[in-house]
Amino acid sequence: MYRYLRYVPKNQLSRLVGRIVHLRLPPPIARRLVRWFARTYQIDVAAAGKAIEDYPSIGHFFIRDLREGLRPIEGPFVSPVDGVLRNFGTVTGGRLEQIKGKSYTLAAFLGDEANARRYESGAFFNLYLSPQDYHHVHSPVGGRITRSVHIPGKLWPVNDWSLANVDELFSINERVVTYVECSFGLVAVVMIGATNVGKISVVYDSFISNTAGTTTTATRSYDPPMAIAAGDRLGTFHMGSSVVVLVEPGHLDLASVRLERGKKVRYGAAILHGEKPPREAQR
């Protein structure tokens, strides 16, 4: 099945799916569809910020908020999402591991060769969001947003099949990079689009991804930079995908990572041992 995806217009399909799932429906129909979606993906509806009957579409339920106070912020460097920590490691030779035996180029991934050199020998964390997960993305650190880059691209799935079979997957899919200056240096948070991600939006700017006719990389600098705390919201996947966090070398020891590869992680969970909670997140 997946081999035929190369012939499918994935960007156009994703825009269409995004519009369909966000259509506001009559309440009886919306309730049934949202309940079906929650059952199918085994979603914890008790964690949602509103009663399941209050969502007018699957799309609105998909980008639901969580109940206030449900995710305490456990330290100064935290998971930005609910999801699975697929991998973490060191940037080596300008490349990051995509899956065992396959890697991708950091310069192409960030759309900036000079900036990519800052992360050589630094750390990366790759987190995957399934349809079951909460789909807002938060800042892993507290600091100042200095720059963003929107890189249009393809919308391949980011499932295990694609990781194993699509070369440079994360460097060819559409993505949005947010740079945060903080005590861990310049941290990059990269939101990666995928099939059926109708769009990626961010809270600090008005642009959105997967817009028809948008083919040029757009870089924006913010002067003055915008303050953000660890756990504050950065943006939203309007359907699911992956996030990669990059940290410059010399700012953390991977031996101190307390999370396990391949395991579920919750937004706000401390990534490193010995962290102290700075605050609760602003939702």
Query: For residues 175 and 272, is the Cβ–Cβ distance under 8 A?
Result: no
Catalytic residue (one of 22, 135, 136, 138): 138
pLDDT at 197 (0 to 100) = 58
**Residue 66 has what pLDDT?**
94
Rg (alpha carbons) of the chain, rounded to whole number: 18
Residue where the block lists tokens 């991977």: 254
Q: Using 50, 70 and 90 to split pLDDT, how confident is the model at 202?
A: very high
Which residue among 82, 112, 133, 232 is the active-site one? 82
Report phi then psi at 107, rounded to 5: -60, -45
E strands, the chain, are 72-73, 83-90, 95-99, 102-105, 123-128, 136-138, 143-151, 175-182, 185-192, 200-202, 218-228, 233-237, 242-247, 264-265, 279-280
Residue 82 among the catalytic residues: yes
Residue type, 206: S
- Catalytic residue flag (residue 22): no
d(CA 142, CA 276): 13
Instruction: For residue 54, indicate whether it is catalytic.
Output: no
Least confident of 4-8, 48-52, 102-106: 4-8
Q: What pLDDT does residue 199 have?
A: 81
Q: For residues 176 and 110, what is the distance between their CA atoms, to the nearest angstrom?
A: 9
Q: Is 212 helix (H, G, I), strand (E, B) or coil?
A: coil
Sheet holding 242-247, edge to edge: 218-228, 143-151, 175-182, 185-192, 242-247, 123-128, 83-90, 264-265
As a whole-number percent, the residues of the chain with pLDDT over 70 amount to 84
Asked whether residue 8 carries a pLDDT value surpassing 70, the answer given is no
